[in-house]
Chain A
Amino acid sequence: MVTRGAGFPAGTPEEPTALEKELLGVAGSVPDPELPVLTLAELGVLRGLHVLGPGRVEVELTPTYTGCPAVETMSADVVQALREHGMTDVSVRTVLSPPWTTDAITAEGRRKLAEFGIAPPRPTGGAPGGGPVAVDLAVRCPRCGSTDTTLLSRFSSTACKALRRCASCREPFDHFKELT
């Protein structure tokens, strides 16, 4: 079951129990359906997990983009992983607040993206106001490492990526564009 919500449930989040930590590990290790080199934990979309009773667990996911079609697959994959781990009643809640930013991608996630041939997003430091980060700053080619790259299109194979070309090795590549 997927439900929508504005944000975290009321009240301060409590320290996760040992079981919750274990289940977070299970849910967090599910691969992203569109970028299978990354896990959901590395992408930073897993917002929380609460055990509500024996075999009952609620997971909070945040979408990278509101229209990201991967969210439903992610939810189904998380449900399956937790079921295989003995949870019989798994619900997934989509939360929008606070909005996901590319700063939520872990250092290991960035390394894997580059290794996969996708230029990782540059850290933004959470600039206020949101919006496109100046695209003139150098983006490094994930193949040859050159910073002499140009933007071909602001949108690439998915909404979260832009298409660039390297002037040194002449190869086009995807850049996971910054979202602050």
Chain B
Amino acid sequence: MSAPRTALLALGDDALVLSHRLGEWAGHAPVLEEEVALANIALDLLGQARTLLSMAGDEDELTYLREERDFTNVQLVERPNGDFAHTIARQLYFSTHQELLYERLADGGTDDGELAALAAKAVKEVAYHRDHAEHWTLRLGDGTDVSHERMRAALDGLWRYTGELSQPIEGLDVDWDGLREEWTRRVTAVLERASLSLPQGPRNASWAAGAGRQGVHTEPFGRMLAEMQHLHRSHPGASW
């Protein structure tokens, strides 16, 4: 049985948008090794997005010709890269979640065989993304006063976008409350080791945060899409 198109788009959009954000680091990363690491993570996510979007329709059309309100990614992944600590905080929050979600989809969370196969494949890749984010969280949190403070500020700043991660996606048979509990347990454990602590405050702000799945996005997302889509829209069918 095929998973609902909305579920495929939700998962595919998360991977696509984060992939694009990470790709923006190319030419700007603090060291060459990180340039390569972030590009590799972006590439894994792009591969996942291509598979998921192709299951939902035409991958190019979905990527380049949809309007902002038609994207259903969580707002966390569209947040701008910020400083390196912001990118790592976003990676820690998202990859921990994505790994838990893919694990569940690979293990009975969907009766769509193709989606389960993708999840079983992708969970191995995401485990490396999470490992990468954890190691940087430890280095930054337990590094200098400046790196600690920046990491703390990044974790706090993105916290309000984490509530949306465990919002149920229709058509997927996942224990979302259990997923959120496990996510919180894992993130807390990493932050404690990094001499940081789990941010306080609501995980959903009172304004629109938490409506990405309904097509409501934060202001920087429109500009990201403009950059991502302009070539295809200006030169339909262009190839090289």
Contact = CB atoms under 8 A, between A and B. Distances in A.
A49 B135 CA distance: 42
Contacts of B132: 154-155
Interface in A70-93: none
Interface of A is mostly: loop
A179 B128 CA distance: 10
A180 interface: yes
A170 B34 CA distance: 21
Given A4-B51, A67-B47, A132-B128, A154 B121 contact: no
Interface in A1-27: 4-7
Contacts of B48: 66-67
A95 to B, nearest CB: 8
Interface in B104-126: 113-114, 116-118, 120-125
Interface residues of A, number: 30
A51 interface: no
A67 B117 contact: no
Contact of B33 (A4, A97, A152, A159): A152
Given A4-B54, A7-B113, A99 B124 contact: yes
A5 B135 CA distance: 35
A104 interface: no
Which range contains the number of B residues in contact with the other chain?
A: 20 to 34
Name which of B36, B54, B116 has the most chain A CB atoms within 10 A of its CB.
B36
A19 B74 CA distance: 51
A66 B114 CA distance: 13
A158 B36 CA distance: 8
B33 A66 contact: no
A155 B36 contact: yes
Interface stretch (B38-46, B156-164, B229-237): B38-46
Nearest to B34: A153
Contacts of B40: 155, 158-159
A28 B3 CA distance: 34
A130 interface: yes
Contacts of A99: 117, 120-121, 124
Contacts of A116: none
B225 interface: no
A163 interface: yes
A7 B124 contact: no
Nearest to B112: A6
Contacts of B135: 154
Given A66-B44, A68-B47, A97-B117, 9 more contacts: A65-B44, A96-B120, A98-B120, A152-B33, A153-B36, A154-B135, A155-B128, A155-B132, A159-B44
11 contacts: A66-B44, A66-B121, A67-B48, A96-B118, A97-B113, A131-B123, A131-B124, A155-B41, A157-B36, A159-B44, A163-B36
